[in-house]
Amino acid sequence: MRTLNYQGLLDLVNGAAIFSAGGGGDPEAGYKIADRLTSEGYKVMLVEPSEIPDDARVVNFACVGATTSIEYDSNSAVKTLEALEEYVGFSAYATIPVELGGFNTLAAVDVAARRKIPVVDADGAGRSVPEVHLKVYTIDNIKLTPMAIADVYAKNIVIVKETADAKAAERIARILAAEWNQSAYTARRILTGVQTKTSPIQLSLSKSINIGKLLRMAVEPIKAVLKETGGYKLFEGTVASVERKTEGGFTFVKMTLNGTREYANSIFEIKVKNETLAAYRDGKLVAIAPDIITPVHPETGKCITAEKIVEGDKIAILGLPAPEKWRTSKGLELWEDVLKRAKIHDKYVPIEKLVHSQF
């Protein structure tokens, strides 16, 4: 177990955002959490899965809703975890982020620090994902419920005892988030120590912190990040058009870019449902989820979340291979369903094959 200092928290925000596919919440919200934890004297403890007792209980924590509508209140977030603990009759040994993202990862960190428990060096997706059930735990048949859901000020708290499947739990959480100004807290998927050692994406917070250090210290941050992740620079250009709408607890975006530098005379398009799900260059698919498609600043390499991008912005697009668990038949089946409901019907091809065939 180790303690994260202020710089470590900032590196975590920036590194986790690289894996966010342009979702996962605004990194500015993550910075604010880091600022408050530090100024208020809270200790952030990071525990490796291997250190967790086999019979310990670990709770997944995150916000759910449209990325344009996220608010956050630490006391209410903690109250959501406590509601689940009271219902089930246990005390959490640790929290674990449900995903990697500039805000959502830090929400789990914040709740853990304020409860004086550690946060696990792992997460449920190895990236940001648009739906509650879309986690590697679903591949492993680990139940999502019981689940506590609360509005941003915890004036309404709902306990979901059981659902037919994880997708049903997603719909309940999403409907409530939509009702509560497009945002809600969730505490769910109670893992044993044994499950924590095997099911989630291991040591992903440490990996994110290392990426954050590269962004801060490397002379050419984008090249350094791509070398570390095995990723690709898919495009660089100026945003020509943005279509954005928020409904049903999701933020939908369609965006086109006109290429600059080596990408001049090319057009790039991305499709977003909270996270970037597919990307096309001159009408041809160049990357598709579960592989990670993240908009970044072309000089600093820091993520620019999709809901903040406007016409005229200059951005680069990075493509990173998904964790191997998502590339299994069960993982791809989950993603295919999500893509179809986002009206994306392209079949999955690993990013390395798409990139090599195009360039």
CA triple 238-16-115, angle to 5 deg: 140
DSSP, collapsed to helix, strand or coil, labels residue 212 as: helix
15 and 130 share one domain: yes
CA triple 55-59-65, angle to 5 deg: 165
**Residue partners of 229: CB distance under 8 A and separation at least 6:** 18, 211, 320, 321
Q: Do the beta carbons of residue 2 and residue 45 sit within 8 Å? A: yes
Per-residue pLDDT for the chain (359 aa), expressed as one digit of tens each?
999 999 999 999 999 999 999 988 899 999 999 999 999 999 999 999 999 999 999 999 998 876 555 679 999 999 999 999 999 999 999 999 999 999 999 999 999 999 999 999 999 999 999 888 899 999 999 999 999 999 999 999 999 999 999 889 989 998 998 889 878 999 999 999 999 999 999 999 999 999 999 999 999 999 999 999 999 999 999 999 999 888 777 888 899 999 999 999 999 999 999 899 999 999 999 999 999 999 999 999 999 999 899 999 999 999 999 999 999 999 999 999 999 999 999 999 999 999 988 65
Task: Select from 3, 9, 2 the least CA-distant residue to 213.
Answer: 9
pLDDT of amino acid 359: 56
Gap between the Cα atoms of 137 and 198, Å rounded: 10
19 and 130 share one domain: yes
Q: How many domains does the chain have?
A: 2
115 and 240 share one domain: no
Q: Do the beta carbons of residue 113 and residue 42 sit within 8 Å? A: yes
Angle between helices 104-115 and 74-88 (to 10 degrees): 70
Task: Select from 334, 353, 349 the least CA-distant residue to 167.
Answer: 334
Element (H, E) at 262: none
CA distances from 283 to 39, 95, 153, 265, 287 (A): 49, 42, 44, 13, 12
Q: Do the beta carbons of residue 63 and residue 97 sit within 8 Å? A: no
pLDDT of amino acid 112: 98
Evaluate whether residue 104 is within a structural domain. yes
pLDDT of amino acid 68: 55
Gap between the Cα atoms of 61 and 5, Å rounded: 21
Evaluate whether residue 304 is within a structural domain. yes
pLDDT of amino acid 67: 59
164 and 253 share one domain: no
Element (H, E) at 138: helix 136-139
- Which CATH number do you get for residue 225? 2.40.390.10
Point out the domain boundary residue: 145, 175, 204: 204
183 and 303 share one domain: no
CA distances from 64 to 42, 79, 224, 331 (A): 25, 16, 32, 21
Domain extent at residue 115 = 2-204
